[in-house]
Amino acid sequence: MKLSANQAAKEAHKTKKTILDSIKSKRMSASKNDKGHWEIDTSELFRVFPKTDTTPVSNTDAIPHGEPYNTSILEVELKAERQMRERLEAEIDDLKVQRDKWQLQAERLLLEKPAPQTIITPTNENIPLEPVKKRRGVLARVFDW
């Protein structure tokens, strides 16, 4: 049986361009009819593009009617998911507690006076650092502001 390029494309589940490209590249043989249209033999089409079964599988075919569902696998998966959820919730709670502790520590450090800074010398003497005095202008020095 001979097919046109459009019919061949539909049968092979390819585009018309793919069919014509395979003819032009000599992968597939075809002939032109008296109107100048391509005629492709079905055996030649399926030699180049093997026929595949594309019938959709319905959900009703998967489980025969009248047989009970095997729920043991689903129960195991559900149990594993619940355990994972419990572990994640526990980890979230732990992270919230840690966050709150860090927040309290940060607030305490902000409220405390800073400790005087010292330099430790090679002889292990602690020398306190003098705070850097801000330079005062001439008027401030004259009038002691």
Q: Are strands 118-120 and 126-128 parallel, antiparallel or unpaired?
A: antiparallel
- Over residues 68-95, the pLDDT tens digits come to 667 888 899 999 999 999 999 999 999 9
Has residue 100 been placed in a domain? Answer: no
CATH of the domain at 42: 1.10.1660.10
Has residue 42 been placed in a domain? Answer: yes
* Nearest by Cα to 23 from 82, 4, 113: 4
Has residue 27 been placed in a domain? Answer: yes
pLDDT value for 93: 95
pLDDT value for 24: 92
pLDDT value for 112: 75
CA–CA–CA angle 48, 51, 55 (5° rounding)? 155
Has residue 118 been placed in a domain? Answer: no
User: What whole-number distance in Å separates Cα of residue 13 and Cα of residue 72?
Assistant: 40
pLDDT value for 144: 73
Which has the higher per-residue pLDDT, 130 or 48? 48
**Percent above pLDDT 70 for the chain:** 73
Has residue 29 been placed in a domain? Answer: yes
- What mean pLDDT is predicted for residues 98-104? 93
Count of structural domains, the chain: 1
pLDDT value for 68: 65
Has residue 21 been placed in a domain? Answer: yes
Helix 16-24 with 5-12: angle, nearest 10 deg: 110
Has residue 33 been placed in a domain? Answer: yes
DSSP for residue 126:
E
Has residue 130 been placed in a domain? Answer: no
Domain that holds residue 20: 2-48
- What mean pLDDT is predicted for residues 50-60? 64
- What mean pLDDT is predicted for residues 124-140? 70
